[in-house]
Amino acid sequence: MNTTDAVAFWDGVYAARPAAGGPQPNARLTETGMGLPPGDALDLGCGDGGDALWLARLGWQVTAVDISAVAVERLAALVRSHGLDDRVTTVRADLHTSFPPGGFDLVCAHYLHTPFDLDRATVLRSAAHALRPGGRLLVVDHGSAAPWSWNQEPDIRYPSPREVAAGIDLAPQTWTVERADAPRRIATGPDGRTAEVTDHVLLIRRTA
């Protein structure tokens, strides 16, 4: 499976549902980001753009990245309509082959799962190295599958936050795990359905 397949798949996922007029931020981001001073943020797999818009409204300069041109174009239109084009830069990129340049105070990776080849550990390690001292990497993974998820494999196993941290393999002298847990919440799907799901939350801070 190549990049063309991945782009076509994710373009299809977003094109199959209406564009979100007012996408909401992920709950784990609002928990983490509300008390942080604004700086430069990188949103990996920005999707509908709720996280990028929320951060921009708080004063962050946001680089929002997704493999789907449909998602990126929709978010760019939303950014313009909300008057936030001076705070949000949208980028279509395949993290399998490249990583956005620059230094960041916050990198978010929410539900960065795909049925295609992606060395997540390498991507997340690059994200950690892109942090400035004091910056944070927030990784939120699925700990269970919602009924509307594209992945309904019955035998799928979700690595724990500690396992994800071990896979990234960061030097403890430079990066500190500040949070690694599996809270539950009520999620709302694209069609309005709700379900209880588990999140795997990993928060890493660059200390040096």
Strand-pair partners of 130: none
Whole-angstrom Cα distance, residue 25 to residue 167? 27
3-state secondary structure of 129: helix
Would the pLDDT of 137 be above 80?
A: yes
Confidence at residue 108, expressed as pLDDT on a 0 to 100 scale = 98
Query: What's the mean pLDDT in 67-94?
Result: 96
pTM over 0.85: yes
| pLDDT grade for 148, boundaries at 50, 70 and 90 | low
Confidence at residue 54, expressed as pLDDT on a 0 to 100 scale = 98
60's tokens: 């962050």
Confidence at residue 140, expressed as pLDDT on a 0 to 100 scale = 96
Query: What's the mean pLDDT in 172-184?
Result: 96
| pLDDT grade for 2, boundaries at 50, 70 and 90 | low
Query: What's the mean pLDDT in 96-109?
Result: 95
- Segment 182-201, tens digit of pLDDT: 999 888 877 778 888 899 99
Confidence at residue 163, expressed as pLDDT on a 0 to 100 scale = 97
- Segment 31-53, tens digit of pLDDT: 999 989 999 999 999 999 999 99
β-pairing, 194-206 with 175-181?
antiparallel
| pLDDT grade for 152, boundaries at 50, 70 and 90 | low
Helices 69-81 and 50-57 cross at an angle (nearest 10°) of 30
Query: What's the mean pLDDT in 50-71?
Result: 97
| Residue 72 φ then ψ, to 5° | -65, -45
| pLDDT grade for 208, boundaries at 50, 70 and 90 | confident
Would the pLDDT of 151 be above 80?
A: no
| pLDDT grade for 116, boundaries at 50, 70 and 90 | confident
| pLDDT grade for 1, boundaries at 50, 70 and 90 | very low
In which element (H, E) is residue 30 found?
helix 27-33
